[in-house]
Amino acid sequence: MSDLIVIGFKDKFTADEVLLDLRKLEREYLIDLEDAAIVIRNQEGKIQVKQTQELVSSGALGGGFWGLLLGFLFFNPLLGWAIGAAAGALSGSLTDIGIDDNFIREVGETIEPGTSAIFILARKSTPDKVLEDLSQFEGKVLRTSLSKADEAELQAALTKSEVGKELQ
pLDDT in tens, the chain (168 residues): 678 888 899 999 998 898 999 889 889 988 888 888 999 998 888 988 888 755 444 455 566 555 655 565 566 666 666 666 666 655 555 454 567 888 888 888 888 999 999 998 888 888 788 888 888 888 888 877 778 888 788 888 887 644 444 433
> Cα–Cα distance between 85 and 90 in angstroms, integer?
9
CB 34 within 8 A of CB 122: yes
Q: State the pLDDT at residue 116.
A: 92
Ramachandran assignment for 45, one of left (phi > 0), alpha (psi -120 to 50 degrees), beta (any other): left
Looking at the chain, how many residues does it have? Answer: 168
Against a cut of 0.75, is the pTM above it?
Answer: no
Residue 34: phi, psi to the nearest 5?
-85, -40
Neighbours of 73 (CB within 10 A): 10
Please, how many CA atoms are within 13 Å of residue 78, restricted to the half-sphere of its CB?
0
Please, how many CA atoms are within 13 Å of residue 39, restricted to the half-sphere of its CB?
26
Domain-by-domain residue ranges, the chain? 3-52+99-167, 55-94
Q: State the pLDDT at residue 115.
A: 92
Architecture category of domain 3-52+99-167 in CATH: 3-Layer(aba) Sandwich (3.40)
Residue whose C-alpha is closest to residue 39's, from 59, 64, 19: 19
Q: Which amino acid is at 38?
A: I
Residue 38: phi, psi to the nearest 5?
-125, 135
